[in-house]
Structure 1
């Protein structure tokens, strides 16, 4: 059985949701970043951590990719053009969405107060809105980012859009708002959101 370490209010949500989608059993330890429940498995103190067969795996994207590849679901096979497109979308979301939100969080409450630059958040909001326009042109016409099949970037995007709204980063593209509404209706998403 997998063990997931990290609160559902962190990027651990992505891993918990993936495991729900895969219908795989897991044990969840809702430990806060840098807590004594995390540091022995990840010296940086970051969550999530997935423990599989006694081995810790860190970084939510690495964990999602590992689980998708291991179970042959929510992914396209490695070495295919569809997988290259999937990986490209994943990297775009990490670079343009996740990075802006993480930098805003660091300058809101993570960094020591004397190191925070509150004005940077205006620039990050602008970049986030610009990135939405780019992503809409890359989205398929299907219900998911790549078409009829849900993949790893769908989990990352949905989590980033949720995070954006809670951080007061507007979702300005109607297609992304509609997409988020659909994804929030998935039973696996709802199971984690309710926990």
Structure 2
């Protein structure tokens, strides 16, 4: 009976994916879009890659500005649905493929915390990160979207210390978003090499999906550089 149920579920999943409109990922290698491509791989989602050569400024040309007027990647399109903003893309894709188990259902007690930490990435971590990286004076604490950098980071550290994943024992799409981001920001020295951050990032970046995309990114980045003679 169990084997029959599993095969039936597999057939339903395959049928749903066959009937689903294709996903296009607008992409540049070694950018914020890397995390989105890793997520697509983790979800087992079929997608088409529309690569943009940032070294030639392709993301600032009219063709792509019609997709995202900000000239930023990633962006994804599925049929008439066009989604920009990394946080929105993460939620959109994970909900599109619930069978992958990377998104808590609406009635799951983890759904609220899951949404909280994905939103925290965009509303607190990213603004704090840019102020820190550019040595900008942050806004007064009562006007800052992230209070202050140390508090923002300490709050994240306390959550990750509960581990092994952001929400405890269960890995979600939020971990792909955070794990890839922390890997890059630790490497560039913006986030300190604290054991909690380093071990968490390594847990995500050691996964086969990240390793595959890292290798593919290196090859694509070299091709893009060669296209401009560099």
| TM-score greater than 0.5 by the shorter chain | yes
Match of 2:108 among 76, 80, 105: 80
The answer to whether the aligner puts 1:43 opposite 2:69 as a matched pair is yes
Partner of 1:22: 43
Q: Is the 8 A contact 1:13 1:192 kept in 2?
A: yes
Q: Is the 8 A contact 2:132 2:190 kept in 1?
A: no
Most deviating of 136-145 and 81-90 = 136-145
CA–CA separation in structure 2 for the residues paired with 1:91 and 1:163 = 19
Compute the displacement of 1:154 (Å): 0.8
Q: Is the 8 A contact 1:161 1:171 kept in 2?
A: no
Q: Is the 8 A contact 1:132 1:172 kept in 2?
A: no
Partner of 2:90: 64
Q: Can you list the C-alpha shifts for 1:71-101, whole angstroms capped at 9, x where unaligned?
A: 1131111243310011111222223322222
Compute the displacement of 1:50 (Å): 0.3
CA–CA separation in structure 1 for the residues paired with 2:92 and 2:69 = 21
Match of 2:126 among 75, 93, 98: 98
SS at match of 1:38: helix
Aligned length: 182
Could you list the runs of 5+ residues in structure 2 that have no partner in the other structure? 1-21, 139-147, 217-230
Larger radius of gyration: 2
SS at match of 1:5: strand
CA–CA separation in structure 2 for the residues paired with 1:119 and 1:149 = 36
Match of 1:171 among 189, 192, 205: 192
CA–CA separation in structure 2 for the residues paired with 1:55 and 1:26 = 14
Q: Is the 8 A contact 1:38 1:47 kept in 2?
A: no
The answer to whether the aligner puts 1:52 opposite 2:78 as a matched pair is yes
CA–CA separation in structure 2 for the residues paired with 1:172 and 1:143 = 17
Q: What is the TM-score when the length of structure 1 is the normalising length?
A: 0.80
Could you list the runs of 5+ residues in structure 1 that have no partner in the other structure? 108-117, 122-126
Most deviating of 180-189 and 86-95 = 86-95
CA–CA separation in structure 1 for the residues paired with 2:82 and 2:127 = 24
Seen in structure 2, the aligned counterparts of structure 1 residues 2 and 169 have a Cα distance that, compared at 3 Å, is same
Q: Is the 8 A contact 1:48 1:59 kept in 2?
A: yes
Partner of 1:194: 215
The answer to whether the aligner puts 1:135 opposite 2:159 as a matched pair is no
Most deviating of 17-26 and 159-168 = 159-168
Partner of 2:13: none
